[in-house]
Amino acid sequence: MKIRFGYVANALDLWDASPSKTLTFARYSTLTKEERMDKLKSVTAQNLHHTKRIFYYNIAHEIELYRLSSSIVPLATHPEVMWDFYSPFKKEWEELGEIIQKFKLRVSFHPNQFTLFTSPKDEITMNAVKDMKYHFDMLKAMNALETGLINIHIGGAYGDKITSLTRFHENLKQLPIEIKKHMTLENDDKTYNVQETLLTCEKENIPMVLDYHHHMANKEEVDDLHLYLQRIFDTWKSTNIVPKVHISSPKSEQAFRSHADYVSLDFILPFLKMAKELNKDFDIMIEAKQKNLAMHKLVEEIAAIRGVKRITSASVEW
């Protein structure tokens, strides 16, 4: 069983390398028409440059798994802006794509919690489609559609889970098929648990991303994950990509749902042992606050387990 590890958005030990520098609409509104476009381009250029720096950091550390920032392009989906972020940066997007292809990086996006398909309000569904298209267009600009995926949650329950799930399937028809093919669904920490998310994924033929921390915060009294793990991994069979799992650990017992700075090996070890029984390759996305630093620390700790062999800076064999 081979496990590769990755992290989210920002390499914390690279100086001033945030790929998520922003421009608020309030600030944008105070600028002249010419200044507005200059500022949009300036912030986007910075974020693209920092993304490239992070790519090279990942290559140097043999990190093949990386979640791109959703904030690379400021105000990309704002109804009063909606600007062409591809044409002025065609060369930069293509350069990122060449790096992804050459070094076989597995990249993904995770839009925010407002990108959902359970709302009874049409405008929220339309905004979700718009946001999914924005992320899809970035993957396309980087020629990263072969393995690039966009991960979201099912959404809210609105007081009635059954009705909301029915609405999810109906609203999802608004999403173009070519974008849906790059979509994954993740169980969440309050509403839709592992079983509910898995059934939804199986019905829609969408790969499921298991979030173990969310599962521990939102599970039945008796932990039943072992009953579903094989089926979760099986949802990836229609892709040419190994399953992906999100890993983090609680900040504290009182703030159980909040992510800690680093990942507790004791917290995730039961899951790793469960996965070991299946003996299938999969990838782990670290969602700890200390991002790549937490990833490096966890890989070292897992590599110290008897029977585990470290095969690169960011992958092990068990």
39-54 residue pLDDT tens: 999 999 999 999 999 9
User: Is pLDDT at 221 greater than 90 in this prediction?
Assistant: no
Given pLDDT bands bounded at 50, 70 and 90, which one contains residue 164?
Answer: very high
- Candidates 30, 7, 28; CA nearest to 19 is 7
The answer to the question of residue 107 being in a domain is: no
- Candidates 169, 60, 75, 162; CA nearest to 105 is 60
For the stretch 250-265, pLDDT in tens is: 999 999 999 999 999 9
pLDDT at 279: 94
pLDDT at 223: 84
The answer to the question of residue 136 being in a domain is: yes
Helix, coil or strand: residue 274: helix
Domain limits at 160?
A: 117-183
The answer to the question of residue 284 being in a domain is: no
The answer to the question of residue 189 being in a domain is: no
Given pLDDT bands bounded at 50, 70 and 90, which one contains residue 116?
Answer: very high
Question: Under 8 Å CB-to-CB from 156, ≥6 apart: which residues?
Answer: 116, 118, 119, 164, 191
- Count CA atoms within 13 Å of residue 86 on its CB side: 11
Q: Report DSSP state, residue 206.
A: -
Given pLDDT bands bounded at 50, 70 and 90, which one contains residue 220?
Answer: confident
**Token pair belonging to 223:** 């932990």
The answer to the question of residue 129 being in a domain is: yes
What's the total number of domains in the chain?
1
The answer to the question of residue 93 being in a domain is: no
The answer to the question of residue 203 being in a domain is: no
The answer to the question of residue 270 being in a domain is: no
pLDDT at 82: 86
